[in-house]
Structure 1
Amino acid sequence: MDAEQDLTSISNPERIRALAHPVRLALLDHLESVEDATATQCAEAVGESVASCSFHLHSLAKYGFIEPAPRRGRERPWRSAMRGGMDVRPSQEVGSHRAVAELASMQVLRQAERVRNYLATYTNEPEEWAQAATITSSTFWATAEELAELSKHLQTVAHEWYAGREADPTKRPEGSRRAHLFAVANPEPLTHEGDER
């Protein structure tokens, strides 16, 4: 991966909790899809009021997820500071595991809604695109090290395809469309005795 495409690791519970809000996640998604945007443009994109977006944009900036973009006259646009993406992992700090779980739960709901929206229009997809998409699941036995390796592999593959195409339209192959990857690799929950069912 290029250095500029490296994932930003986030484990501080305060920063993670700052992300765990549906409007903030929607704003981050939007700012990652455009060069920059004002609070007014963000409000139009995410369906919230300008005042609400302005408040959440300042909160995201406070924790380093976005930054001011060069001014356009009197306009004050914002841009993503996380162009390479984020890798949110718990640390040993108090509350970190709970904060990661809360954010991840919110992301699962957001991604489920996105997939449902896609499936609602699935019958309109050209055959080549319908065949290219997949919703798949697997069950397997793995050590913690192997599961970590799989998680890293999924992130690496996604970023190899990213290759600056989001920020630079000239790098996008002809006929390409924005695509999404949502993958979860997790072990079965432990029982009270510490053994898996």
Structure 2
Amino acid sequence: MAHDPPQMQTSDPAVMRALAHPLRIEIMEAMDELGEATASEIAERLDQSVANASFHLRLLASAGFIERAEPRGREKPWRSKHRGRNLRPDPDDPSSIAESSELGALVVQREAARMAAFLRAAPAHLRSGEWIPAVTVSTATFWATAEEMAEVAQELATLLDRFEDRRDPANRPEGAVKGRLFSTLNPDLDELIQGADDSEPSDDGAS
């Protein structure tokens, strides 16, 4: 029977803390791409010892991110329990917000470093020009309410739904390669701070 995992959705700070490690983020990406893998396969792919890979796999399993797949003879592979992960924090739980922010910061650092490495290597690999229009680095400034910005976030989240079935190699058209999308969206921190200051009562009013 085909493995059809559900979407993961949690704001549990302990669960997010379990993922907030550079190697465990890499392991989950590998799991998403491979479908399933043994500790030895993960170790080889990520240039780690089998013991270290096994340690981090067990931590991910205890937090509910992965589970055992069907045995392959004597091999015992792991697989992701979910087809995607929504780890948006609970707005009423400061620890949930803190853990989600830390996890997000690690992902941004990793993806920014990956993109910078790609751009530096690109001149040697984009000489034909075919893929140049597919590469973009863009920034934008705009003014929106919290509700409008949340709508943009949802639109970004669903942007790639039309490619979801291509996780199966049989559904990929000729010439398709793995693409990477890295996007960020956030209200300006200075304006948030200024808005909070403006909403606080003044102490210099007349009594």
Could you tell me the TM-score, scaled by structure 1's length? 0.90
Is the 2:66–2:80 contact (alpha carbons within 8 Å) kept by the matching residues of 1? Answer: yes
Decide whether aligned partners of structure 1 residues 66 and 5 sit closer, same or farther in structure 2, where only a CA change above 3 A counts. Answer: closer
The offset of 1:55, in angstroms, is: 0.8
Larger Rg, first or second structure (1 or 2): 2
| Aligned twin of 1:165 | 166
State yes or no: 1:63 paired with 2:60.
Answer: no
Distance across 2 between alignment mates of 1:56 and 1:118: 27
RMSD over aligned Cα, in angstroms?
Answer: 1.8
Distance across 1 between alignment mates of 2:5 and 2:36: 18
| Aligned twin of 1:115 | 115
Distance across 2 between alignment mates of 1:7 and 1:108: 22
| Aligned twin of 2:87 | 88
Matched AA of 1:26:
E
| Aligned twin of 2:146 | 144
SS where residue 73 of structure 1 aligns? coil
SS where residue 160 of structure 2 aligns? helix
Matched AA of 1:164:
D
The offset of 1:164, in angstroms, is: 2.2
Distance across 1 between alignment mates of 2:6 and 2:143: 29
State yes or no: 1:78 paired with 2:78.
Answer: yes
Distance across 1 between alignment mates of 2:183 and 2:118: 16
Distance across 2 between alignment mates of 1:94 and 1:5: 30
Aligned-residue identity in percent: 41
Matched AA of 1:141:
W
Distance across 2 between alignment mates of 1:32 and 1:98: 25
SS where residue 79 of structure 2 aligns? strand
Distance across 1 between alignment mates of 2:155 and 2:194: 31
Distance across 1 between alignment mates of 2:18 and 2:56: 9
| Aligned twin of 2:185 | 185
Matched AA of 2:150:
A
Q: Figure out how many residues of one structure are paired with residues of the other and give that number.
A: 190
| Aligned twin of 1:52 | 52
Is the 2:17–2:103 contact (alpha carbons within 8 Å) kept by the matching residues of 1? Answer: yes
Is the 2:166–2:172 contact (alpha carbons within 8 Å) kept by the matching residues of 1? Answer: yes
The offset of 1:108, in angstroms, is: 0.6
Matched AA of 1:170:
A
Is the 1:5–1:164 contact (alpha carbons within 8 Å) kept by the matching residues of 2? Answer: no
SS where residue 173 of structure 1 aligns? coil
* Higher relative contact order (CA closer than 8 Å, sequence separation 6+): 1
Is the 1:158–1:181 contact (alpha carbons within 8 Å) kept by the matching residues of 2? Answer: no
Could you tell me the TM-score, scaled by structure 2's length? 0.86
SS where residue 114 of structure 2 aligns? helix
Q: Where do 5+ consecutive residues of structure 1 fail to align?
A: none
The offset of 1:192, in angstroms, is: 5.4
| Aligned twin of 2:130 | 128
Is the 2:39–2:53 contact (alpha carbons within 8 Å) kept by the matching residues of 1? Answer: yes
SS where residue 166 of structure 2 aligns? coil
The offset of 1:35, in angstroms, is: 2.4
